[in-house]
Structure 1
Amino acid sequence: MTAIAAEAAPTPLIFTSVSKRFTAGDRVVSALRDISLSLSLGQVTALVGPDGAGKTTLLRLAAGLLLPDSGSVASFGLDTAAAGAQLHRLIGYMPQRFGLYEDLSVQENLNLYADLYGISQQDRQQRFLELMRMTNLQKFNQRLAGQLSGGMKQKLGLACTLLNRPRLLVLDEPSVGVDPLSRRELWQIIALLVQEFGTTVLLSTAYMDEAERCQQVVLLDRGQILHQDAPTGFHRLANACSYKLSSPVLGKRLLQQRLQACPDLIDSVVQGDAVRAVARPACRPDWTAMFNDVEQMQIVPVPSRLEDAFIMLLLARQGQKSPAATKGPVPGNGSPFLASEQPAVIEVEQVDRWFGNFQAVKKLSFEVRHGEIFGLLGANGAGKTTTFRMLCGLLPASNGRVRVAGLDLSKAAAQARAKLGYMSQRFSLYGQLSVKQNLAFFSHAYGLRNSHRRVRMAWAFTQFGLEDFADTNSVDLPLGYKQRLALACALMHEPEILFLDEPTSGIDPLARREFWARINSLAAQGVTILVTTHFMEEAEYCDRLLIMREGDILAAGTPAQIRSRSQGVGQSPADTMEEAFIRLLELTGSSSG
């Protein structure tokens, strides 16, 4: 790869008054409306916005995979409608699922993409070595792509995309479903491409901390650009509106629910042992009217961040508060929930799980208590999914004992499953069934009959705002509504224990807030929650966490305890769970693989 002189190169991407429509049944959906956008050479631009905003459509237009209905898209001076073959050699595109062939090995995937790009045998060997060194996949050349961890699939997908040495790299949510260490490695590769080779990058992301790394951020909503600026420009929109509040009396969960009732605030989110709150612009909340001296409130103004502006801009356009403010009961003078005083409802004792000669889980022991939100974390391939499936009764343990809701899973798995709700990472919905048919199917599967079934279905439609989509096939739902439907299906039989496997993967900040407001409400009602997540800010909602590494326990405790344990020699405790997670893996020599 060779760097391109900025003064000699045409603009990498220009959208001029671009609109794109799709037909969905009897409806015509305007995915993009009159979009004008220009990218600067050698810059990284983030595309953010709520689910259904048009991000993927814009990226596919940029990559030349779609053509606009009106307006024009040009890349390096070439119109995508007329110069597709030429642009194929200039643009690299990686879709959300990486575009890999899982029955082929790493090397075979690289060979296939080299063939597709027409790369000569002489050139490809040098490029293979270069990309394997960049992605640290040298040792895995003969492993099937389907047997790679999520982080390794991500890096292989990127390597295949980079084989043609594209001048414009288009990435559709490249970090969805991968752990923080893999996310960091991805950004190191992106930084290398920009700094050494002058690559221009356009990517979509649901994670605002990733958008903070970019030179430009474009916020889309309902097919239109709502705002475009550098991250610092977004910060200025929310300047002097952000606060950090903590109380040793209320605790973070009760404090957040109290703040949701304040009309002067548009948002509140758990952050460490405190709650971050965002006030309306030019509004100064009257904290003395909300809290008394006994509650020992500590309130500190904090710098604004891009996510604060993201929430502020979207809610101002929609004319509402954060969705978290409308879900669940707000406690009055109740005392904080104390997980340590509750009985255990999930007990894991010396559990092993073998797959042939490979030990995926090693002598695992822990317990989850009634009404607790318990987080199961780990790098890709750490054994989380295997553990999760054993706890749900979907996979037997090789050794040891697992008890759920007082029942031994080796003897009464079916009875235990009747007390569980399960929401998988891919939502396990039946795509060709409508919303109503999915709810009816899961109601029947959970044994609901007649009037009870009708009552619960009516509850699901109302509680999750699914009325307008009753006859829509679930495959056609926006991602946020798929998430709502999946959670509704898991709750139809009012389970005692709810298992959530990566429930917010790829979901935007507004949808994440709505989801966690529901989960906090369920926990307040006594439902036990066990959740896996790669999004470390969500780990702060958990009462306790277990971090796994190579099938074993790396760390366990409250979020505060885990942040404290990540302290290395000459270091202060980690400020965030993501920093703590990466430190712990590095201190023990682990890798995301």
Structure 2
Amino acid sequence: MTPQSADDQTLAIIADGIHKSFGKPPRRTEAVVDVSLRVVPGQVTGLIGPDGAGKTTLMRLIAGLLTPDSGTLTVLGLDAVADPLTVQASIGYMPQHFGLYEDLTVQENLNLYADLQGLPPDQRAARFAQLLHMTGLAPFTARLAGRLSGGMKQKLGLACTLVRPPRLLLLDEPTVGVDPVSRRELWAIVYQLVADEGMSVLLSTAYLDEAERCKEVILLHEGRVLGKGTPAEFTAHLTGRVYGASRPATIRRHLQAELQKQSVVRDAIIDGDLVRVLLDENAQPPELPGVTWQPLQPRFEDAFVLQLRERESQQHRKNQEHQESKESAVAALPTTPKNAPVKNREDIIIVSDLTRRFGTFIAVDAISFSVQRGEIFGLLGANGAGKSTTFRMLCGLLLPSAGKLSVAGVDLRTAAAKARARIGYMSQKFALYEVLSVRQNLIFFAKAYGLNRQRRAARIDWALAEFGLTNYSDTSCGLLPLGFKQRLAMACALMHEPDILFLDEPTSGVDPIERRAFWQRINQLADQGVTIMITTHFMDEAEYCDRLVIMSQGDILAAGSPKDVRAQAKSPEQPNPNMEDAFIALISTPNAPKAPRPSQ
């Protein structure tokens, strides 16, 4: 082992030349490549990287659950390679899918983990009381874990991890799939642990705004460390390169698409009422008719995306000939759906007094709204708000208890099968066949949708090219990175060229480059007349919707355009809230009135 300096002996984690691969050639995956890093104790350090960057593998190496192929790794002064069991007994580790026992109550889960971690019986009452107070779970000790909301499950998982207070806490994407209120509550708990108990925290996350909550950030890509420093150090070189663009009477996604074509623009995303633009170094905002510009402060996401874009450009230059021939092939394929752009914005989804009961529990309480053809419509809400139940009813997967529901002119209560033929559905959890290859999944879904042989072949060729899956056509789905799984799931949902596309949290856990590519496809589909209905916990994605509703406890709490919803949350304390601020303010308002019924 490399000799440690006096300063090194105080560090929480020391890694030198760590390497870890899986499989054998030619399918070997280099998960972690020559990683060297130092993690300072007593602070929150963020581990940031796109899907497949090696974050989870590195976490498992640090936790002593994997052995590196080479390199040295010291955790809390312990050799994690030579003595992994001692390391495991000294740290807390909460993986992405924490092992709660859903048939046990909250209290029973705590008791079980206290047994597993060897917490003495005389210390349990005080520790349980502290954890239940910290997580807000004290009123729910008798509730089964399986009946908790997603955010509450994450907080229970964290409490179980902390039954015996560790000096080092590893959190692997703890906030993926939970609503913004629960995210902020989890972060408050993490800050409290650092402040009150002096705990060191290493946290990986897919939410780039959370990187700015960290004291230091380690940026990973393709198993390698690209950089380490404070969030401010990552963004310092971007001063003067970030602007907000606006043009009255222009749909924001159309302005975004126009700006993406400008040679000096490196990135363009919708950000509130503006399109947020990152420019080339020393470039000035392009002069476009009617567009006004205002300077904005750089964010960590700007720096993150720029680094990935630059690496993409380097790779593109190395393979230019291959890429050009590939792009020509893609352009030649018939990628335009059958739906032509529509001027007649008639209602294609009509919901009236929709209700769903499970026994005496009312999950959805007489809600009403409508969605127009070619519209991107968002269905938002906290975990347990009833949005997933509503979604399943709209897809014809769950019968309503009461009310009227029409999709594509078909009454779902009487002709669900007919309506489903015009619907594409991408579920929250990856629902394809992992033992089948990419091509075999596409064939299966094309046959399931009744496509004839000729049309099936054309659509499969379209899907492989349009979604960048050609090189993975013979790869088993279970071996794909998450971003490519999401691409395949969307391709399968579009095989039969549906009129309506339902997307249930489709970008959860996906890196920002994939999210941008995803929304570019969605925007194009909407402009071609496809109606999009989406649920998401990314509040910045809600800004891409033409209209949205926010649900709480089975009711519609707010409705309208993103600008309308943000306006409903304005207050003297927050005169200009972003969508996350608005969501939290509306959800957190005691006895918030039910929103007026959206016009139909």
Could you tell me which residue of structure 2 aligns to residue 394 of structure 1? 397
Cα distance, 1:582 vs. partner?
0.4
RMSD: 2.1
Moved more, 149-158 or 76-85: 76-85
Cα distance, 1:106 vs. partner?
1.1
1:464-515 Cα shifts (integer Å, max 9, x gaps): 0111111111111000000000000000000000000000001111111011
Cα distance, 1:86 vs. partner?
2.1
1:347-392 Cα shifts (integer Å, max 9, x gaps): 0011110000100000110000000000000000000000000000
Aligned pairs (5 A) from 1:187-586? 187-285=187-285, 287-288=286-287, 291-292=288-289, 295=290, 297-319=291-313, 342-568=345-571, 570-586=572-588
1:248-301 Cα shifts (integer Å, max 9, x gaps): 13231110010011111110000111100001223224x22xx12xx3x21011
Cα distance, 1:174 vs. partner?
0.4
Cα distance, 1:237 vs. partner?
2.8
Could you tell me which residue of structure 1 aligns to residue 176 of structure 2? 176
For 1:42 and 1:429, how far apart are their aligned partners in 2?
Answer: 42
1:571-593 Cα shifts (integer Å, max 9, x gaps): 44443100000011122358xxx
For 2:315 and 2:386, how far apart are their aligned partners in 1?
Answer: 39
Q: 1:340 to 1:366 in 2, by over 3 A?
A: farther
SS in 2 for 1:319: helix
CA contact (8 A) 1:151 1:179 kept: yes
CA contact (8 A) 1:339 1:543 kept: no
Cα distance, 1:98 vs. partner?
2.3
CA contact (8 A) 1:315 1:321 kept: no
CA contact (8 A) 1:555 1:562 kept: yes
For 2:8 and 2:407, how far apart are their aligned partners in 1?
Answer: 66
Could you tell me which residue of structure 2 aligns to residue 116 of structure 1? 116
1:501-541 Cα shifts (integer Å, max 9, x gaps): 00000111111101100100100100000000011000000
- Report the residue type matching 2:553 in the other structure: E
1:171-192 Cα shifts (integer Å, max 9, x gaps): 1110000000000000000000
Are 1:37 and 2:31 counterparts? no
CA contact (8 A) 2:31 2:54 kept: yes
For 1:482 and 1:574, how far apart are their aligned partners in 2?
Answer: 37
SS in 2 for 1:411: coil
SS in 1 for 2:263: coil
1:45-69 Cα shifts (integer Å, max 9, x gaps): 1111111111111111111111111
CA contact (8 A) 2:45 2:201 kept: yes
Could you tell me which residue of structure 2 aligns to residue 82 of structure 1? 82
SS in 2 for 1:268: strand
Q: 1:573 to 1:560 in 2, by over 3 A?
A: farther
- Report the residue type matching 1:304 in the other structure: P
Cα distance, 1:196 vs. partner?
0.9
CA contact (8 A) 1:539 1:577 kept: yes
- Report the residue type matching 1:114 in the other structure: A
For 1:399 and 1:76, how far apart are their aligned partners in 2?
Answer: 58
Q: 1:560 to 1:340 in 2, by over 3 A?
A: farther
- Report the residue type matching 1:426 in the other structure: K
Aligned pairs (5 A) from 1:54-93? 54-93=54-93
CA contact (8 A) 2:18 2:32 kept: yes
SS in 2 for 1:249: coil
Q: How many aligned positions are there?
A: 567
Are 1:162 and 2:183 counterparts? no
Cα distance, 1:129 vs. partner?
0.8
CA contact (8 A) 1:267 1:321 kept: no
For 1:341 and 1:455, how far apart are their aligned partners in 2?
Answer: 30
1:116-137 Cα shifts (integer Å, max 9, x gaps): 1111111122111110010010
Q: 1:7 to 1:473 in 2, by over 3 A?
A: closer
For 1:203 and 1:174, how far apart are their aligned partners in 2?
Answer: 8
Cα distance, 1:89 vs. partner?
2.6
CA contact (8 A) 1:574 1:580 kept: no
CA contact (8 A) 1:105 1:144 kept: yes
SS in 2 for 1:475: helix
CA contact (8 A) 1:565 1:573 kept: no
Could you tell me which residue of structure 2 aligns to residue 332 of structure 1? none
- Report the residue type matching 2:298 in the other structure: S
Percent identity over paired residues: 54
For 1:114 and 1:537, how far apart are their aligned partners in 2?
Answer: 39
For 1:321 and 1:279, how far apart are their aligned partners in 2?
Answer: 21
Q: 1:458 to 1:8 in 2, by over 3 A?
A: closer
1:155-207 Cα shifts (integer Å, max 9, x gaps): 00000111120111101110000000000000000000011111111011111
Q: 1:166 to 1:572 in 2, by over 3 A?
A: closer
For 2:71 and 2:53, how far apart are their aligned partners in 1?
Answer: 19
CA contact (8 A) 1:238 1:312 kept: no
Q: 1:339 to 1:321 in 2, by over 3 A?
A: farther
For 1:174 and 1:438, how far apart are their aligned partners in 2?
Answer: 31
1:301-335 Cα shifts (integer Å, max 9, x gaps): 1111111000111111121799xxx999xxxxxxx
Structure 2 portions without partners, runs of 5+: 1-5, 317-326, 332-339, 593-600
1:5-35 Cα shifts (integer Å, max 9, x gaps): x999732111111000100684111111111
Aligned pairs (5 A) from 1:93-112? 93-112=93-112
For 1:457 and 1:554, how far apart are their aligned partners in 2?
Answer: 42
- Report the residue type matching 1:299 in the other structure: W
Q: 1:338 to 1:445 in 2, by over 3 A?
A: closer
Q: 1:589 to 1:231 in 2, by over 3 A?
A: farther
For 2:157 and 2:140, how far apart are their aligned partners in 1?
Answer: 14
Structure 1 portions without partners, runs of 5+: 1-5, 329-336
Q: 1:472 to 1:564 in 2, by over 3 A?
A: same
For 2:202 and 2:17, how far apart are their aligned partners in 1?
Answer: 19
SS in 1 for 2:23: strand
For 1:425 and 1:501, how far apart are their aligned partners in 2?
Answer: 5
CA contact (8 A) 2:342 2:529 kept: no
- Report the residue type matching 1:46 in the other structure: G
CA contact (8 A) 1:15 1:72 kept: yes
CA contact (8 A) 1:339 1:369 kept: no
Aligned pairs (5 A) from 1:17-28? 17-23=17-23, 26-28=26-28
For 2:573 and 2:133, how far apart are their aligned partners in 1?
Answer: 30
For 1:305 and 1:148, how far apart are their aligned partners in 2?
Answer: 34
SS in 2 for 1:89: helix
CA contact (8 A) 1:372 1:543 kept: yes
CA contact (8 A) 1:383 1:551 kept: yes
- Report the residue type matching 1:213 in the other structure: R
